[in-house]
Every structure is written in structure tokens, then in C-alpha cells.
Chains A and B, each alone.
Chain A
């Protein structure tokens, strides 16, 4: 048999595989791959689709999926690029103008909308000031919807008319909620909503007016991506694209973390796939040592023998991966059906990518983990047909395993698109495996001495472990990895949720009060105390624009589309404070202890992210344009800010006593328990110039998103748990034959069932406890790295992880006894048959 054509080798492999299909190890390998691919596919789909649904939810805050915003009207080609692709379009024009009525004038922020606005979410309005809200609709031509505070400021009521430029509009409803208003609390002027059809008639918009044009788009994600690509490169200097992540910082943060979490869970599934496949592939190879030796005797070359088995595995892997992907797809369909009431009615389908990733994962795991045992098959000496004790030369598989890890790392990276997370998991896992595996091996070896005088069930159970300490250590590591993965997922779930919850406590401020005049400051604070509102301090606000850094114009210094770019495009709310505000933490520099210098510029504290985007360092000199007046300040500290805390937050905080003399208004946020609406109305009436924004709706929306994320996270945890258990059983299956033989023999020799059960419990209990111990140690190691480098959370030891050894003993012990029950029930007669 000198030359065997490839096709004949394939045919031979297929025939052998079909014949082998009934062999238990082939089934176990198939099952392990099936479970692994199904789990990672299902989680992949679940994550992708849920993410889509959450994006959809988040897009409400933008009133669209994508917004093209600029200070000049979009070009016809930019609009065509969207409409020709079938995207739904709405136009919004925003500007500040004086609104006039008989009683007086009021500077207002006017928003002209077309009838299809908003594309996501709904407007809400009331028929009377502070009356009950109804969703939907919008102002017809000739009409205006206005905020109640405009009515208060001008002493008008609904039905009266106002003039916007040269156009007279009749006020028909009180505007209470705009979906895309939420992202911008600091609009200081009352809102007037009008129909875009009336815009030209106002004559307000002239060349040079400060106007914001917003073109809103809604459509399928892939079409939106196409649109973005088509438009992005030709954006004018004053234009930029906003997506859901820009809509609102709070939502963006929650989404980002949820996405990371889901990615983590799919990485765990990949690791489980590896464990499952490694367990069953090594058994597959072990059981083919004889056959391989025989084939070598019959004249097959090493490479042909190796090729034959590789082909069999490849065929098996392909079928299992395809079936697994189908199963995973069906599983997530079922999951979404279960969650129907809780999710938006339209959940995006998710495409084929998760299925392909699942299949790829399975195949790469198979290749990576099955290769070393398979390589041993090629090295079986033919003499083994005569001497069964001859084993192949011990494989020097560092290189092969290295390649496997590399491939696995690639998949993980592809899945998470996050090198840091991948390295943390892979590196942490490997270091933990090496360290803990070594420790375990040592521990097992020393146990051998204890064994001599122990009772029979202990010796049987321990003996089973100690017969091949290396295999036992490997098994403990494998189960440990599963426990570790599950613990990690559970741990991160709890901590992420706690973190979110901590940022949104029950009494998070649900109102913002803006435009408080300096002489209204004390009376307003007094009124808040009277109605038992929990209030943040009152901060002065002075609108000002950052113009120069170290005497260089900022426009030249910032990169487009960055946080810094956005910040210098508009007025920033500048403030001063003696104390560091709550929820802020200094990351660099010192908070001021001394009064500002008499001869130099005062100090300013800058928010750290903005500082990074503007490449600011301590000591840099900033120049601001405040109402035409130029003021300078030197950067003295950088602060991190919890943007999702619903407290007033500022990019720039000046030293006290440095901005006095400039026109300032004050702002604060406060919490009023539900049911105090009349207090808010009374407050508005008492201080008509003060803008009171209710953010209950935003808070509620944020909470409901968090609730969904929580739910998703819990379901994903269930998936990982199920996959882990399935893999555990697959691992046990691999040792079943040997156990059945032993069980039958012990029974023939007169052992009762109780003894066998006891020995099994001891064996698996010990294995589980060792796995749990490894998992606890590994979990601490990995969380430490993850918290520190990936999630930016504070790390503290988790003493409850010490229940893992117990949990492992119960779980692995229970599953072990259950998974090998066939061995307990084996008829002793089989020892006579199996000769």
C-alpha cells in the first residue's frame, strides 16, 4: 500500500466513521461538539439580537437610529444617499429666537419638525398646563406646542398666539416630553415646537444664523452602515453623524457594559467547547491506538494513518458543528419566544454571523484540542499489535497546544473584538492552569501516602484518581475550568448589576432645576427644603466656549468626531466650586487649598475624558470666550465623573472667586418622591423663570433597560450553566466503559451497591472539591485582572468563592454518580462475557 489516493482515503475514512458511529467515544465527541457549538451559537445569537433590541430602545433617545447633524442644511446628495437606500427620513431644524406676544418677549429654543418626527419614540403633550399626558402627534401647520414655562413667562394660555419671526402660530398643546431632549438637560430656554412647513414664513433663518439642522434616519442596521459609509467621507466641517451611543451617555454606558458581559459569556462558551472536545478527543485517540497499530502493520504509512483519522474527525466535526449551529439557532428562537412580553416587539434577526462563529469555534476547538492526541495515533509503533503495553512516544505537544491556544485566542478576539479581555482570560486561564495544575499534581502525589491505611471505599475512590495522577489533575482542571467559568459569569453579573444599581439609587435625582437667578437662589433652596426634596448643591452656570489651549486655537488641536471636538463646538457650562462635587474623583493634580493667585490666571479642574481628548496636561493654559469676554485659567487637576449619577456634572470647574461678576444662573437637581406633582407645579408657579425638568421618564427608561439587561444576563448564565453540565457529563461518559467493567467485577467479587456508590461519591466528591478549589483560586486571579484592566472596577477578595469546593463536590459528585449509574447497575455476569 505505497500510495493511497486522497479520494480513497476519504472514502475509507467515511466508511470507518459510519461503522464507528455506534462507538460510545464517537458519540461523546459528537455530543460534546454539538453542545459546545449549540451553546456558543445560541449565546452569540442571543447577544447579537438582544444588543440589537437594546440599540433599538436606546435609539429612542436619539429619536432615530442615526442622525446627520450640522450647522448648515444637509446637501441634496447626502439626503439622496439615505432615501435611495430606502431609509425613513425626518428633518428637524433647531434655532434660538425671540418669541413675541402682546405681553412681552421670551428667548426660546425653537424646533421645527416634519410630520414623521420622531422616528423612534413618541412626543408627549397635555391639553392643559400640568395636565395629564397623551403620547403621539405633533403640531400641524400654523400651530405651536410649547413648554408650560413659556406660558408662565409670557402670562399666556393655550389658544393664544405667539409670533416667531414674521409667522404667527397658535399654541394648541403643552409639550411635556421629547424623546431626544433627554440627552440635553441644559437647554436653558423654553421649547417651542412648530411645523417645518411654517419655517420659511418666519423669515428667521438668514445666512449666518446659528441653526442646527438634524436629518433623522431609521432603517435596517446593515443599510444604516452602508449609509454611514457613503456619507461619512464627504462630511462638511460643521457636520457629524450621531448614533445611539451618542444619544445619551447613561444608556451608552449601560449598553457598553452589557455588551462586554455578553461577549464574556460567549468566550466562556468557547472555553467550554475546548474542554469538552479535549476530553472526548483524547479518549477517541486512546481507543484507536490498537486499530492504528493494525493499520500500520497492514502497510499504511504514518501520514496515511494520521490522515485517515484526521479526515474522520473533520467529517465528524463538520456534521456536529452544522447540527449544533442549527440547534443553537432553534434554542435562541425558543428563548426569545419565552421573553416575548419583555422585549420590544421587533427584535432584529441577528444574521448568519453568530452561526458561522459558532461553527468556526467548534471546528477550531476540535482542530486545536484533538490534534495532540491525534498526533499520538500517527506515532503508534506497529509492534503494538503484539505487545499492547507499547504506547506511542510521549508527544512533545507544546507546539501543537501553543497553536491550539493561538487559534482559540484568535476566535475569542474575533468574538469580543477586545484584545485586553481576550488576553486577560487566555493569559489568566493559562497561568492559573499551569500553577494550579502543578499544585494539584503535587497534592495528589502526596495523597498516595495517606492512602495505605485508609478504608476500602476511600482506597477504591482515591485509587481511581491516583492511578493516573496526570489524567486526574487534567480532569480536575477541566471541571475546575467549568466551575471557574460559571463562577466568573455569576460574579461579574452580580457586580455589574450592583454597580449599575449603585449609580441609580432609588432616590437618584428625578428633577433638574435650571435658570435660577442669583437673587432667587435662597428662596428656591428654601422652598425645596419645605417640600422635603433631597437636593444637590446649587451650582452657578456660566456658558462659555473654550477657544485656545496654550494660546493655540482649539479647532486646530482636536480630532474630528472626538469628545473634545463636540465640547468645543458648543458652549460649555462653566461653574466654580470650593469643594469637589459628590461623585467626582481626582485622577491627577490637587484640589485647590489656597485662594487664586493675584497676578496669574486662576486654576481650573477639567473632566478627565475631555482632558484626554483635548490632550490637556496639568499646567496647560486655557482661554474661554464668555459672552465676548476672554478669560484664562490654568489646569490644576483632572477629575473622573459619574455621568450616569443624575447629579449636575461639569466639564470645567473654576476656583471660587474667579468668575464672579459674569452673568450666572444657578442649577441643581433634586429628588421628590412620586405623588408630589402638585409641589412641582407650585414650584414652577412661584419661580416662573426657573426651568424644572422632570427626568422621571428618562430614569424609568434607563431602569427598564437595566432590567432587560439583567434578564439577558441571567438567561445567558443559565446557558453557560447548562453547557457546563453537559460538558461535565460528556467528560464522565469518557470513563464509563472502564467503570462498567470495574463495577461488574466488584459486584462479582461480592461488593454491595452501597460500597460502589460510596467509592464513587468519594472519587467524584474529591475531584469536585479539588476542581472547586482550583476554580476559586483561578476566579480570584482572573477577576483581579479583569476588574483592574478591563472593567475598571474596584477589586476586593470574594470569600464566598470558598463555597466553590463544596459546590464542586456536590455538583461533580452528584453528576459523577448519576453519570456513571450504568456502572453501578452493570450485571456482574458481564465479567464472564467480556473476555
Chain B
């Protein structure tokens, strides 16, 4: 394992509601090394996605701090955080979230281009071949099955060589067989590329494949980080 790549300290999230402030994430700290993998598990509404959003810099915490690849996200504005994400972060979503207006190749090129890479097309092609979609480059998302769409999404997530890959229920919309193959792919690439993996899932089997695991219940940490 390398040096710390993702450090959160006393991270909490409070949202206003009709009945006064509602704490959806109680203060929590964690520290992930380069190449590590972490599963966040818990029931629906336990705060998993909130934590993922805060760690990835998609949202601001009410209190506490996140340092991602050496950048303290606290003082950064949305555009600056977007810059950090473009350079260091990849995403895989439960509903794939491919852009319908782009074909498979262009979807994978997207993060490379956002990062200003000149070899975007070549890199994207290599990655799509790696996930087994070398023959489907010019297909649009509508022309692909769910499993194929998620493979494009994974290729896209790894395209820019992210330091941290965030995956939100990556197998949630897939049948168990396809889900199995997708999670294999995810971990293979994780290992090949030395990416840090942060995974939110219901799936205990998928969670167990991660080196570390935290369990949330009503916004509180119930199973501590195992080193």
C-alpha cells in the first residue's frame, strides 16, 4: 500500500428539514492508502450515498474536511473541485449514466478530454477492448445491453487513470451473473492500475471482496474501519 490518498476528518452532514436540522451523517473519519479498497454498506437511507458524495467532492460537508490526492476540498469552489475530479477521480454508477448523445467510444473519451489528453481516442479504444467491447465502439447507449453499458461505464471510470474510483451500487441494476462479471472486471482493473476503490453496495459478497469495510446505520458508523 502507498501513502494516504483519501483522508476524511470529522466529516458530518446536517440538512435543514421541517422538524429542524436533521443529521444525515454523524462525524466520521477515515484514511485510505493508494491501492486500497473500501466497501460502504448499510440499509437504504443509512447515509452511504451521502458519504460517497462528500468523499468524491460532489457535495460539501457541514463540518470536517476531505483531502483527496493531496487537495483539501474544503476551500475549493465547484469548478475547482471539478478540476480535482477530472484529474484524480473516476465514477461508476448504478444506472450507468452514459451520455445518450455520445457513442461508446466517445463516452469513454470524455474524462480523458476533460483532462486535456491528446491520446484520448487511442486510450479509450484500448480500454474498450480491455472490457470486451472492441466491436461496439460506435454503438450508442441505447443499442447496448445493461451489462454492456456498465462495462462502458467502467472503461470510462478507469480511462483517466484515476487515483480513486468511486462506485455507487455498480451491480445494482444487473442480474447476478452479469453483476458477478462486472465486479470481476472492476477488481481486475483496480489491481492492474493500482487504483483506490471506494464502493457503496448492498451486496455483501461484493463488499467482502474489498480489503476494508464500514457499515452505516442511520448516519452513524457501526462497524469501524478494519485496518
Contact = CB atoms under 8 A, between A and B. Distances in A.
Contacts, number: 86
B93 A750 contact: no
Interface in B140-168: 140, 142, 156, 168
Contact of B114 (A459, A750, A753, A835): A750
A831 B49 contact: no
Interface string A439-476: 00000000000000000100110011011000000000
Nearest to B200: A832
Interface residues of B, number: 37
B119 interface: no
28 contacts: A456-B110, A456-B113, A460-B99, A460-B101, A463-B101, A466-B101, A738-B100, A742-B101, A746-B110, A747-B78, A747-B82, A748-B56, A748-B91, A749-B156, A750-B82, A750-B89, A751-B86, A751-B114, A752-B82, A753-B82, A755-B114, A827-B58, A829-B59, A831-B91, A832-B93, A833-B49, A835-B93, A835-B94
Given A456-B113, A460-B101, A466-B101, A834 B95 contact: yes
Interface string A752-768: 11110000000000000
Nearest to B169: A835
Nearest to A459: B106
A425 B151 CA distance: 53
B168 A829 contact: no
Candidate in A460, A464, A749, A752 with the most chain B CB atoms within 10 angstroms: A749
A832 B52 CA distance: 9
A627 to B, nearest CB: 87
B131 interface: no
A832 B99 contact: no
Given A751-B82, A751-B114, A835-B94, A829 B102 contact: no
A560 B79 CA distance: 81
A744 to B, nearest CB: 9
Contacts of B111: 749-750
A747 B106 CA distance: 16
A792 interface: no
Given A742-B99, A827-B59, 13 more contacts: A456-B113, A463-B106, A467-B100, A746-B99, A750-B85, A750-B115, A751-B86, A753-B82, A755-B114, A828-B58, A832-B52, A835-B172, A835-B173
A244 to B, nearest CB: 60
B222 to A, nearest CB: 21
Nearest to B88: A750
B12 to A, nearest CB: 16
Nearest to B159: A749
Contacts of A466: 101
B83 interface: yes
Contacts of A749: 85-86, 91, 110-111, 114, 156
A649 to B, nearest CB: 66
Contact of B97 (A456, A750, A753, A831): A831
Interface in A717-743: 738, 741-742
Interface string B30-62: 000000000000000000010011001011000
Contacts of A188: none
A123 B87 CA distance: 87
Contacts of A748: 56, 58, 85, 91
Interface string B92-134: 0111010111100010001101110000000000000000000
Nearest to B103: A463
Nearest to B168: A832
Interface residues of A, number: 30
Nearest to A825: B78
A323 B60 CA distance: 43
Nearest to B142: A389
Interface in A793-835: 827-829, 831-835
A745 interface: yes
B93 A463 contact: no
Given A752-B83, A828-B58, A829-B53, A745 B94 contact: no
Contacts of B82: 747, 750-753, 828
B53 A750 contact: no
Contacts of B91: 748-749, 831
A140 B178 CA distance: 108
A177 B21 CA distance: 83
A742 B100 CA distance: 9
Contacts of B173: 835
A745 B97 contact: yes
A742 B99 CA distance: 7
Nearest to A741: B97
Contacts of A754: 79
Given A456-B114, A460-B101, A753 B78 contact: yes
